[in-house]
Amino acid sequence: MSAEDTHGSSVEVAARVERRWTAIAVIIIVAMALLAAFAGIHQATMPQPRVETTDPSRLHLSGEFVESNLGSMLEANGNVTVRAIGQQYSFTPACIVVPVDTPITLRATSADVVHGILIQGTNVNTMLVPGYISEQLMRFTRTGDYLMPCQEFCSFGHEGMWGKVKVVDKTNFANRAKAGGRLSCVGQ
Amino acid sequence: MLVNRKLILAHFWLAFGVFGVALTLGAWQMFIRSPIGTWLSNPELYYRSLTAHGTVMGYVFPTLVAMGFGYAIAESALEQRLVGVRWAWTGFWLIVVGSVMAVIPIALGRASVLYTFYPPLIGNLFYYLGVVLVVVGSWIWVALMSINLRVWRKAHPGAPVPLAMFANVAGSYLWAWTAVGAALELLLQIIPVAAGLKNTIDAGLARIFFSWTLHAIVYFWLMPTYIAYYTIVPRAIGGRVYSDAMARISFILFLVVAMPIGMHHTFADPQVGAGFKFIHSAFTALVALPTLLTVFTICASVEIAARLRGGRGMFGWIRALPWDNPMMLALAFSFVMLGFGGAGGLINMSYQLDTTIHNTQWITGHFHLIFGGAIVIMYFAIAYDLWPHLTGRELVDIRLIRTQLWLWFIGMIVTTFPWHWVGILGMPRRMAYFDFSDPAIAPQALSVTFSVIGGFILLASGIMFIIILARGMRAPQADAGAYRFALAVHQPTTVPVALNTHALWVALMIALTITNYGYPILNLATAAGTSVPAVYVGAQ
C-alpha cells in the first residue's frame, strides 16, 4: 500500500465517523421536536394558543376586568374562572381562592407595565403584557397556600409584588360560592 | 502579522475594564439580596446596578472582545495590514461615547429599565441613544471585516479563506442582522416615546422585536469562543483540527439558524399564538446541531493532540493531554459548563418544560453558566494567548493563570448550581430583596448563601485576571513570533464556493427571519388598539 492510499483511506474513515455522529445529532434533534409536537397535540400541553387584546386604560370602566368582576367564579359546569389584574405593585385580588381538583381558567392582564404571574410549586407561569389578555388552564391537586410573586421586572417596587393563592377543599368553596359574586380570600 | 496592536489592545482593555466594574456590581447585587446582606433601604439602587451590569455585560463587553479579536484575526489570519484603521478607531470611540452617554442616566436612576428595556417602562432618552451609538460603533467593525476579506479575496482569487477569518466574518454578519431587532424596537418604538414625540407604545410588539435580538445575540457572544475552540486550542495544545469542512459547516449553521428562534423567550407571552411558538421551539432544537458537531470535532482534535503526545487506549489518552497548559484547562472547563448549560437550555427552549422555570432564577443561572462560564472563560484564554503578541512581552505568571481559571470555573459552578435549584423552587428573577423570614421562602436561604460565595470567588478570579494582564504589560520584552492559527489534519487546498463565501447563507438567514418573524410582526403592527400609555421611570 502506498502512502497516498493510507492518506486516502484515513480521510475516508474520518469522514465516515463524522457522518455517523452527524446522524446521531440529527436524530436527537428530530426526536425532541417530535416529542414536543406529540405532547402538544395529544396531551394539549402547549403555551397559550390564542391572542386576545384589551385596552389597559379602560380596564376599570367596563369589560371583564372591572373591579366587581375580579376574583374566582364558579361556572355552571362546575369549573372555575379566575380573573385578575396586575398593576404596580400588587395583584387584584391579592389573594386568590380556588377549589382543589377542579379545572380552573386563569384570565389576567396588566393595567400598566409588563408583569408576570408565577405560582410557586406549580408550573403555572404567564406574562401579563398590557394590551393583551393572558389565559392559562390549571388544576391544583393539594390544598394549602401558594406564593404568587410577580416574575417580571415592573420598576422600583417589583420586589414587593407578591400575591397568594389559597387552595381550599371543594365543599368549602361551593358553600362560599352559593351567595354568588366573585370570591377572593377576603372574609376567609 | 499584528500591526495595529494598539487598536486591538484598546478594545481589550476597555472590554476587560468595564467587565471588572460590572462584575463588581454583580457580586454586590448577589450579596445585597441574600440572607447575609441587610435589606436595601432603597431598592431602586439595586435596579440601577442591575441595569448597568446587564448593559455592560450584554452589549459593551462581548462586543468589544469580538471586535478586538476580529481585528487580530483579520491581520494575522489574512496576513495583511488592516484596511480602514481610521474607521476602526471611529467605531471604538463611538462605543466609548455611547457607553458614557448610557451610564450617566443609569447612575442617576433615570434609566432603570434593565438592558432588556421592557416598554411601556421608558427611561431617559440618552440611555437609549448611548446603546444605539454602541451598536453603530460595532456595525463599523462589521463593515470592516467584510471589506478586509474582500481585499484579501482580490489578492488571492479562489483560495480558501482561512477558517478563523471565515468564522469571524460569519459572526460579524450574524451580529449585524440580529442587532436589527433591537434597533427597530429602539428607533420605531422606544426613542420616539422617550423623546416625548409620542406617549403610547405597543408592549407586545416591542417584546417580539427584542426577542429577534435576544437569542441570536447569545451566538454572537459565542462566536469568539467557538473560533478559539477551532483555531487556537488545537495549535496551543499541539494538535490538529479534525475537519476543516465540518468547522465551516458549524459556523454556517450558526449564521442561518441562530436567528429565527428568539420567540422561545416569549412562550409565556399572550401576544403570539401557539403555532409560531412551536416553530421557534423546533428551530431552537436545530441550533443544538452546530454545537453537537463542534463538541465532536473539538474532542477529536484534542484526542489527536493526546495521541501525538503518546497517549494510548480508549480513554487513556486523556491523561496524556497537556493539563498544565492554560488553554487545555480553559477548554475543559468551558466544555463542562457548556454541557450543563446546554442541557438546561434544552429545557428552556422546550415547548412544555419552559413553563416550570420561565423567569425564575433558573434562567439567571442558565445564562450565567453559558455566557459567564463557557464563553467568558474562553475570552480569558484568548486574551492570554494573544497578550504576548500584542505587548511584545511574555506572560510569566503561568501558575497564577491556572489558579485564575480554576477559580472562575469553581466560582461559576458554586454560583449557578444553587441558582438553578432555587429557580425550580419558584424564586423569581430581578428582585432587590427577598423576605427569607417567610416560611415559604426560608428553605431557599441556604442555596442563595452558597450562590453568594460563588459570586465572591468569581470576583476574586476577575480581579486576578486583570492583574495578570496588567503585569503582562510590564514584563520583560520577548519576541513571541507571528500569531498563528491551528491547521487541519487535511489542510484544504480548495474549498467549495458554498463553504468559502457567505452570501448564500446570509440570504438564507434573512429569508428564515422573514418567514419566522414576518407574520407575527405584521400582525401586531397592524392590530388596532394595542398601544398602551408609556410609564416614565423616575417620574412617579
Q: Which domains does chain B have, with CATH numbers?
A: 5-536 (1.20.210.10)
Chain A residue closest to B245 (CA)?
A15
> What does the pLDDT average to over A172-179?
90
Q: How many helices (H) and strands (E) does chain B have?
A: 19, 4
CB nearest to B246's CB, from A18, A52, A57 = A18
* B490 among known catalytic residues: no
Asked whether residue A113 is domain-assigned, the answer is: yes
Q: Do A129 and B44 touch (CB under 8 A)?
A: no
Q: Which amino acid is at B415?
A: T
In the set B240, B366, B420, B502, the catalytic residue is: B366
A55: chain B residues, CB-CB within 8 Å:
529, 532
Residue A157 to chain B, least CA–CA distance (Å): 8
> What does the pLDDT average to over B171-199?
95
Burial pattern A50-59, b for ≥16 Cβ within 10 A else e, equals: ebebbbbeeb
Residue A128 to chain B, least CA–CA distance (Å): 7
pLDDT recorded at residue A6: 60
Backbone dihedral region for residue B483 (phi beyond 0: left; psi -120 to 50: alpha; all else: beta): beta
Q: Do B120 and A33 touch (CB under 8 A)?
A: no
Q: What percent of chain B has pLDDT over 90?
A: 90
Q: What is the pLDDT of residues A140-159, one digit of tens each?
A: 999 999 999 999 999 999 99
What pLDDT band is residue A13 in, cutting at 50, 70 and 90? confident
Secondary structure class of A104 (helix, strand, coil)? strand
Kindly tell me if the per-residue pLDDT of A5 is higher than 70: no
A32 and A90 share one domain: no
pLDDT recorded at residue B344: 94
Asked whether residue A183 is domain-assigned, the answer is: no
Which of A155, A161, A167 would best serve as a mutation to test chain B binding (most B beta carbons within 10 A)? Answer: A155
pLDDT recorded at residue B515: 94
Contact B112, B44 (CB under 8 A): yes
Kindly tell me if the per-residue pLDDT of B39 is higher than 90: no
Contact A169, A100 (CB under 8 A): yes
> What does the pLDDT average to over B131-156?
97
Contact A108, A131 (CB under 8 A): no
Q: What is the pLDDT of residues B355-369, one digit of tens each?
A: 999 999 999 999 999
A29 and A115 share one domain: no
What single DSSP character describes residue A166?
E
Q: What is the pLDDT of residues B156-173, one digit of tens each?
A: 999 999 999 999 999 999
Greater model confidence, B539 or A176:
A176
Residue A179 to chain B, least CA–CA distance (Å): 32
A37 and A127 share one domain: no
Q: Do A36 and B351 touch (CB under 8 A)?
A: yes
Asked whether residue A9 is domain-assigned, the answer is: yes
Asked whether residue A186 is domain-assigned, the answer is: no
pLDDT recorded at residue B516: 94
Chain A residue closest to B273 (CA)?
A49
Kindly tell me if the per-residue pLDDT of A68 is higher than 50: yes
Q: What is the pLDDT of residues B306-319, one digit of tens each?
A: 999 999 999 999 99
pLDDT recorded at residue B146: 97
**Mean predicted lDDT score pLDDT of chain B:** 94
Contact A134, A86 (CB under 8 A): no
CB nearest to B270's CB, from A48, A125, A145 = A48
> What does the pLDDT average to over A38-54?
82
A10 and A64 share one domain: no
Q: Do A145 and B440 touch (CB under 8 A)?
A: yes
* B19 among known catalytic residues: no
> What does the pLDDT average to over B381-407?
96
A19 and A42 share one domain: yes
Range among A91-100, B253-262, B482-491 rated most confident: A91-100
In the set B53, B368, B420, B502, the catalytic residue is: B368
What pLDDT band is residue A187 in, cutting at 50, 70 and 90? low
* B264 among known catalytic residues: no
* B389 among known catalytic residues: no
Q: How many domains are contained in chain A?
A: 2
Q: B298 — phi, psi (to 5°)?
A: -70, -40
In the set B417, B430, B450, B536, the catalytic residue is: B430
What CATH number corresponds to the domain at position A81?
2.60.40.420
A27 and A2 share one domain: yes
* B366 among known catalytic residues: yes
What pLDDT band is residue B539 in, cutting at 50, 70 and 90? low
Q: What percent of chain B has pLDDT over 70?
A: 100
Kindly tell me if the per-residue pLDDT of A8 is higher than 70: no
A172 and A144 share one domain: yes
Kindly tell me if the per-residue pLDDT of A9 is higher than 90: no
A114 and A162 share one domain: yes
Dist. CA B425–CA B500, nearest whole Å: 48
Kindly tell me if the per-residue pLDDT of A1 is higher than 50: no
A41 and A81 share one domain: no
ipTM of predicted assembly, 2 dp: 0.92
Burial pattern B69-97, b for ≥16 Cβ within 10 A else e, equals: bbbbbbbbbbebebbbeeebeebbebbbe
Asked whether residue A76 is domain-assigned, the answer is: yes
> What does the pLDDT average to over A62-86?
94
Asked whether residue A94 is domain-assigned, the answer is: yes
Dist. CA B245–CA B240, nearest whole Å: 13
Q: What is the pLDDT of residues B229-257, one digit of tens each?
A: 999 999 999 999 999 999 999 999 999 99
Kindly tell me if the per-residue pLDDT of A89 is higher than 60: yes
**Mean predicted lDDT score pLDDT of chain A:** 90
Asked whether residue A182 is domain-assigned, the answer is: no
A91 and A121 share one domain: yes
Domain that holds residue A18: 1-46
pLDDT recorded at residue B97: 98
A93 and A159 share one domain: yes
- Distance of CA B215 to CAs B222, B262, B340, Å? 11, 5, 18
Q: Do B203 and A147 touch (CB under 8 A)?
A: no
Kindly tell me if the per-residue pLDDT of B538 is higher than 90: no
A87 and A160 share one domain: yes
Asked whether residue A187 is domain-assigned, the answer is: no
Chain B residue closest to A15 (CA)?
B243
